[in-house]
Structure 1
Amino acid sequence: MTTALVVDDSHFMRTIISDILEDGGVDVVDTAANGKQAVKKVESIDPDVVTMDVEMPEMNGIEAVEAITDRHPTPILMLSALTTEGADATLEAMEKGAVDAFAKPGGTISTELSGHSEELVATVERVAAADPEAGNDVEQTAPTTAPTTDAEYVDHPTLLVGASTGGPNVVESILGALPREADFRVLVVQHMPDQFTSRFAKRLDQTSEYDIKEADDGDRISGGEGLVARGDYHMQVSGYSNGRLRVRLDQSERRHSVRPAIDVTMESAAERVTDPLVAVVLTGMGTDGAEGIRAVKGAGGATFAQDEATSAVFGIPDRAIETGCVDDVLPADRLTEAITDSIRRSS
């Protein structure tokens, strides 16, 4: 049975979260009212997973994540209020080592959380299966890319990136090292609560040389631009002409129990994009992305997967590798170089 430590400064929320997890088969071995208590209890109890509030007295969630990651690496799920500040803080916590995030509906204190019981339990179980030290390796290892001096690239390439649990830092690492002169059109599908994708897109925009935004229905992008799939919406490539790519967003049926789905974006790109395609699947649980990789490979594109050693959860890359359609399996810090090498013009 999965063991959990519940951390929240509200006694009411600690009770609600604990009851939900216990009813779902998770053993809540203890609770903590602030980050300082959480750090001590993680070291003494060694739970499988920690649910962590963001705003707390004495030591907040971000500081607690950093301390736990440094002293006693443990999978951590951030529970954040549905606010811009909460989303920013959660992304910062994930940069410090948290594995994933779950949005508290209705704010910091709300019984509405009970209406999302199954989703919360499933997320806790998923995070508990993660390797937090693999995620730390990604954060601490500087991304590398091939020297771009004198590099010549094919015209109008498109990069498709799919990720889930543990993915935000890896996505940021890859795009942060992506040379602007490669002139990719970039589409990112990160399984993430819909309240967080706009902030994630802004973060990628700030840390990369590409102009990146959260996707809107009907958006068009050219070289040097990118879109992040909006939370709770599939992102399909609906048109492609003269190096310009158009997307359509919809809330059609979930695939692999997720929306957005990596497969939806990759399969539609493989069907409509006539110029070079590169697809990469990163850390995460489940099978989403495997059929997308198969489709891209069938369309003549280059395909890559993150290796097990640097993946917080190896499910998504592993399922893609099993298709036999992945060109290379690489650690996170070598993926950007492989991506750019795949679109270099032959001498």
Structure 2
Amino acid sequence: MKLLIVEDSALMRRVLRENFADQDDLDLAFARDGEDALEKLESFEPDVITLDINMPKMDGLTCLAHIMEQRPCPVIMLSSLTDKGAVATFEALELGAVDFVAKPDGTVSVNLESVMGELKRKIRSAASGRSARTARPTRRARTPAPRPRSIAPAADTRRKATRTYVPDLLLIGSSTGGPGSLQTLLEGIPADFPAPILIAQHMPPKFTAAFAKRLNDTCNVEVVEVSETRPLHAGVVYLAAGGGDVVVRKKLNRLVAEPATSDPQFVWHPSVSRMVASALDHVPANRLMGVMLTGMGDDGSDEMAEIHKQGGSTIAESQETAAVFGMPGQLIEKDGASVVLPVHEIAAELCRWTSSLSSARRRQCS
């Protein structure tokens, strides 16, 4: 596998080279800045690129736009763990980056050991063959991209009999490649959707606040970060705060979402498994709906399969659109998906399931 690392700091390039020294199957090349990266894009022909955001001559976002135009391939952004870094990261994801890894110590971060495992996993997943589709059209904030209205079902699309009902809560799990899938899904949800929506997207601290704001600016539904206990209201999207978990509780006979300290028994955070399990503690499974989007591993697959087993309805994103087919693939493998759909068809399916919607609402979703 050919990996191109674009990093302006000589110290960072040395640290990264040392950390990849044990990867015998990697053909590794380095670029000093965006201009150098574009030259190596043609001469080296990388399978995967890691791209720093803050660079001289040509910054990472400008370089990414050229990559997606000249020779699209999976790009993973190396971002600083700051508010500014978070905003730039989501701009990169809209331009076509498949994912990001936050540097633990800022722009120049020699202490990379804590994130090297994550970076290596994401590079492998990006190269696995499903991420090359990620050159999405550039989108400007506050202007939702038009959704396809007549796309034929994918070969792996399948449907099982589902009942129609308005759930007490819709639960969504997502990881690698998830920000783009979540934006596509939520842009198709009407403002008066009849249930609250709770999301666990694997993300570090600081990034979820910027992501919630970005979604709130581009979607019809209100989107908020769960940084404190929040009562759950229909038509509002609640995004778990990064770096920790989110759990569902019942207080004064109503459902609330609470931030929770990361539980070490769960590998990924915010944990989809912990979110769904806590919802099952307080809501009958047949009063829940679940959606499993793109991501590595199997986080939440057992718990969402339990929703399906006990009479609730679930959707798995299909391999056609998933950047990484791990989490939805595991849900399907466990016979836990009522429906398998490409991401641009999921919102319409959710609207059809909640049959209490007026005909005008259904037209908005379809």
What TM-score do you get using the length of structure 2 for normalisation? 0.84
Superposition CA RMSD, Å: 2.6
Deviation of the 1:102 alpha carbon:
0.7
> 1:50 maps to which residue?
49
Post-superposition CA distance 1:2-40 (Å, at most 9, x none): 431110121221221222122355635211112222123
**2:173 alignment partner, one of 155, 162, 181:** 162
> 2:281 maps to which residue?
271
Q: Work out whether 1:177 is the aligned partner of 2:176.
A: no
Residues 80 and 246 from structure 1, CA distance in 2 versus in 1: closer, same or farther, beyond 3 angstroms?
closer
| Structure 1 SS opposite 2:198 | strand
**1:280 alignment partner, one of 291, 298, 307:** 291
> 1:150 maps to which residue?
none
Alignment check: 8 A CA contact 1:158 1:184 kept: yes
| Structure 1 SS opposite 2:243 | coil
Post-superposition CA distance 1:264-285 (Å, at most 9, x none): 1122223312583221111112
Alignment check: 8 A CA contact 2:2 2:46 kept: yes
Q: Residues of 1 paired with 2:251 and 2:307: CA distance?
A: 15
* Worse-matched range after superposition: 21-30 or 202-211: 21-30
Q: Residues of 1 paired with 2:310 and 2:233: CA distance?
A: 20
* Worse-matched range after superposition: 40-49 or 235-244: 235-244
Q: Which aligned pairs between 1:1-347 and structure 2 lie closer than 5 A?
A: 2-25=1-24, 27-129=26-128, 131-136=130-135, 142-143=146-147, 157-239=168-250, 244-255=255-266, 257-274=267-284, 276-345=287-356
Residues 345 and 138 from structure 1, CA distance in 2 versus in 1: closer, same or farther, beyond 3 angstroms?
farther
Q: Residues of 1 paired with 2:62 and 2:233: CA distance?
A: 39
Give the residue type in structure 1 aligned to 2:208.
Answer: T
Q: After TM superposition, what 4+ stretches of structure 1 lie above 6 angstroms from structure 2?
A: 138-141
Q: Residues of 2 paired with 1:145 and 1:155: CA distance?
A: 24
Deviation of the 1:48 alpha carbon:
2.4
Q: Residues of 2 paired with 1:138 and 1:308: CA distance?
A: 20
* Worse-matched range after superposition: 276-285 or 35-44: 35-44
Alignment check: 8 A CA contact 2:38 2:63 kept: yes
Residues 132 and 121 from structure 1, CA distance in 2 versus in 1: closer, same or farther, beyond 3 angstroms?
closer
Residues 241 and 186 from structure 1, CA distance in 2 versus in 1: closer, same or farther, beyond 3 angstroms?
farther
Post-superposition CA distance 1:269-325 (Å, at most 9, x none): 233125832211111121112112212213422110111111111111111111112
Q: Residues of 2 paired with 1:339 and 1:157: CA distance?
A: 13
Residues 310 and 155 from structure 1, CA distance in 2 versus in 1: closer, same or farther, beyond 3 angstroms?
closer
Residues 155 and 303 from structure 1, CA distance in 2 versus in 1: closer, same or farther, beyond 3 angstroms?
closer
* Worse-matched range after superposition: 286-295 or 244-253: 244-253
Residues 282 and 240 from structure 1, CA distance in 2 versus in 1: closer, same or farther, beyond 3 angstroms?
farther
Alignment check: 8 A CA contact 1:217 1:249 kept: no
> 2:363 maps to which residue?
none
Post-superposition CA distance 1:101-147 (Å, at most 9, x none): 1111111113222444333333332333353333335879733689x
Q: Residues of 2 paired with 1:125 and 1:34: CA distance?
A: 23
> 2:161 maps to which residue?
none
| Structure 2 SS opposite 1:50 | strand
| Structure 1 SS opposite 2:21 | helix
Alignment check: 8 A CA contact 1:18 1:28 kept: no
Structure 1 residue runs of 5 or longer lacking an equivalent are: 147-152
Give the residue type in structure 2 aligned to 1:267.
Answer: A
| Structure 2 SS opposite 1:95 | helix
Q: Residues of 1 paired with 2:228 and 2:25: CA distance?
A: 39
Aligned length: 339
Deviation of the 1:161 alpha carbon:
1.1
Q: Residues of 2 paired with 1:137 and 1:105: CA distance?
A: 28
Alignment check: 8 A CA contact 2:99 2:177 kept: yes
Give the residue type in structure 2 aligned to 1:143.
Answer: R
What TM-score do you get using the length of structure 1 for normalisation? 0.88
Q: Residues of 2 paired with 1:341 and 1:115: CA distance?
A: 44
Deviation of the 1:326 alpha carbon:
0.7
* Worse-matched range after superposition: 92-101 or 273-282: 273-282
| Structure 1 SS opposite 2:29 | strand
Residues 317 and 296 from structure 1, CA distance in 2 versus in 1: closer, same or farther, beyond 3 angstroms?
same
Residues 331 and 240 from structure 1, CA distance in 2 versus in 1: closer, same or farther, beyond 3 angstroms?
farther
Give the residue type in structure 2 aligned to 1:284.
Answer: G
Alignment check: 8 A CA contact 2:241 2:259 kept: no
Alignment check: 8 A CA contact 2:103 2:115 kept: no
Alignment check: 8 A CA contact 1:284 1:316 kept: yes
| Structure 2 SS opposite 1:180 | coil
* Worse-matched range after superposition: 114-123 or 43-52: 114-123
Structure 2 residue runs of 5 or longer lacking an equivalent are: 140-144, 151-163, 359-366
Residues 282 and 138 from structure 1, CA distance in 2 versus in 1: closer, same or farther, beyond 3 angstroms?
farther
